[in-house]
C-alpha cells in the first residue's frame, strides 16, 4: 500500500475540498442575507473590505512563498510563482473573510475591519504555511486581536457591547439589569430571530440553524463536534440555571444558547476541518472542550462572552488530542465512560462555583 503525504483538511468521503468549502459558502448565505437586511450597507461594506484584504494578502504572500522559475523577463517569473495557485486558495480565505466580518459589529470603523482581517490571515494562517497548515481559526484570531487592541472601538459601536463577541444581551445580563430582568429588553423571541443589536452574523439563531442543517445534510460539517458542543453547553448551563435561577432555568439556558456568538461558533467555526481534530473521539472531546470553556468564561470570566477565546484555546489542544500515541478513530466504552465522567466533573465545578451549596 502506498502512503500519500497530504495536508489538512482531511476528507474521508468521496468529496473534494472545493465542494466542501463551496457548501460552507452556500451555508453562509442565510446569515449574510440577514445581516444585510438588518444592517444594510454597513454589512455590505465590511464584508467586502474583509474579502479584499484576506484574499488579496493570501495571494500576495502565497506568491512570495513560492520559488520562481528562472526567466529573463519579470512577468513569466511572477506567473511561475502561481502555477499551483488554485480556486481553493480563493474560496478558503473568502470563507474566513466572511466569517470574520460577520462576528464584528456593523458600526466598527472600516479600517479596524481591515486591520483585523490582515492580522487574522497573516498571523493566524500564512505564517504557519498557508491553507491546511494553520492551527488557529483565522477569523477568531483576527476578532480577538481587534477586540483587545482596539477595544474602545467596540464600546463606540454599541455602548454596552461585549468586547469580544458583541452580544449586548449578555452584557446586560452580567450588568446592573441582571437576569431574568434582561428578558424584558431582549426576549427569547427577539434573540431567536435576531431583533437585537450585536455582531452582524451572530444575532439571528434562526438563520444560523438553517445554515447548520444544510451543512449537516450535505455532510460538510461533522455532527459529532456540533452535538458534543451543544450537549455540553446545555448540560452545564442547566446546572448553572438550577443553582442560580431555579425558577427560570429553561429561560436561562435558552437565553445563553441564543445570545452572543455560541450558535455561530458551533456551526461555522469549530467545524473548520483544518483546526479541529481528525478522529471521531477527538471531535467529541473538542466540542466538549469548546463548550465548557465558553460556559466557564461566561459564568466566571471578566467578559460576558467567551466563544472566540474558547475556540482558540480549544485549537491549542488539537495536536495533543490527535497525538498518534493515543489517538484512535474508534469510539470505545472507556472513551464513553471518560466523556461522561468529564461532564459530571464539569457540572460539579459549575454547580459549586455558582453557589449551589448555599
Length of the chain: 358
Would you give the distance in Å from CA 242 to the centre of its chain? 28
Residues facing residue 105 across a β-bridge: 199
Q: Tell me the mean pLDDT in the region 252-262.
A: 91
| pLDDT above 90 as % of the chain | 54
What separation, in Å, do the N-terminal and C-terminal C-alpha atoms of the chain show?
Answer: 62
Q: Is 31 left (phi over 0), alpha (psi -120 to 50) or beta?
A: alpha
Residue 139 has pLDDT above 90, yes or no: yes
Q: Which residue has the cell 488554485?
A: 86
* Residue spans of alpha helices (H) in the chain: 17-39, 41-65, 74-80, 88-102, 110-123, 138-149, 151-157, 168-174, 188-193, 205-217, 223-244, 249-258, 262-264, 280-300, 307-321, 333-353
Which pTM value belongs to this model? 0.88
* Banded model confidence at residue 160, pLDDT cuts 50, 70, 90: very low
* Sign, Cα dihedral of 31, 33, 34, 39: positive
What would the pLDDT profile of 189-214 be if each residue is shown by its tens digit? 988 998 888 889 988 999 999 999 99
Per-residue pLDDT at 6: 47
Domain boundaries, the chain: 17-353
Residue 192's region, left for phi above 0, alpha for psi from -120 to 50, else beta, is alpha
- What is the C-alpha separation between 45 and 255, in angstroms, rounded? 30
For residue 305, give the nearest of 171, 133, 143, 211 by alpha carbon. Answer: 171
User: What is the average pLDDT across 206-231?
Assistant: 95
Q: Could you tell me if 15 and 30 are in contact, meaning their C-beta atoms sit under 8 angstroms apart? A: no
Q: What is the pLDDT of residue 10?
A: 46
Amino acid at each position: 500500500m502506498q502512503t500519500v503525504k497530504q495536508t489538512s483538511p482531511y476528507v474521508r468521503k468521496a468529496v473534494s475540498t472545493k465542494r466542501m468549502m463551496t457548501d460552507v459558502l452556500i451555508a453562509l448565505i442565510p446569515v449574510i442575507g440577514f445581516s444585510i437586511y438588518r444592517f444594510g450597507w454597513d454589512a455590505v461594506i465590511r464584508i467586502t473590505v474583509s474579502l479584499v484584504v484576506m484574499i488579496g494578502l493570501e495571494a500576495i504572500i502565497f506568491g512570495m512563498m513560492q520559488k520562481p522559475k528562472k526567466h529573463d523577463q519579470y512577468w513569466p517569473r511572477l506567473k511561475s510563482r502561481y502555477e499551483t495557485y488554485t480556486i481553493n486558495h480563493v474560496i478558503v480565505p473568502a470563507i474566513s473573510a466572511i466569517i470574520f466580518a460577520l462576528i464584528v459589529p456593523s458600526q466598527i470603523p472600516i479600517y479596524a475591519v481591515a486591520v483585523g482581517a490582515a492580522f487574522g490571515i497573516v498571523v493566524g494562517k500564512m505564517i504557519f504555511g498557508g491553507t491546511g497548515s494553520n492551527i488557529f481559526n483565522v477569523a477568531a484570531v483576527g476578532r480577538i486581536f481587534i477586540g483587545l487592541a482596539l477595544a474602545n472601538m467596540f464600546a463606540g459601536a454599541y455602548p454596552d457591547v461585549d468586547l469580544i463577541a458583541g452580544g449586548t444581551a449578555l452584557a446586560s445580563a452580567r450588568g446592573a439589569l441582571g437576569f431574568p430582568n434582561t428578558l424584558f429588553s431582549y426576549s427569547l423571541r427577539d434573540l431567536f430571530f435576531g431583533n437585537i443589536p450585536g455582531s452582524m452574523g451572530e444575532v439571528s439563531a434562526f438563520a444560523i440553524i438553517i445554515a447548520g442543517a444544510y451543512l449537516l445534510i450535505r455532510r460538510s460539517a461533522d455532527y459529532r463536534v456540533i452535538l458534543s458542543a451543544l450537549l455540553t453547553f446545555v448540560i452545564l448551563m442547566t446546572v448553572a440555571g438550577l443553582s442560580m435561577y431555579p425558577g427560570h432555568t429553561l429561560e436561562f439556558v435558552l437565553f445563553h444558547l441564543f445570545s452572543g456568538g455560541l450558535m455561530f461558533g458551533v456551526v461555522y467555526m469549530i467545524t473548520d476541518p483544518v483546526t479541529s481534530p481528525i478522529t471521531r473521539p477527538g471531535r467529541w472531546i473538542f466540542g466538549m472542550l469548546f463548550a465548557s470553556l465558553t460556559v466557564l468564561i461566561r459564568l466566571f470570566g471578566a467578559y460576558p462572552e467567551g466563544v472566540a477565546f474558547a475556540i482558540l484555546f480549544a485549537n491549542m489542544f488539537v495536536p495533543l488530542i490527535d497525538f498518534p500515541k493515543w489517538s484512535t478513530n474508534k469510539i470505545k466504552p472507556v472513551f464513553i465512560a471518560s466523556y461522561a465522567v468529564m461532564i459530571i466533573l464539569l457540572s460539579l465545578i459549575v454547580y459549586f462555583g455558582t453557589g449551589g451549596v448555599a
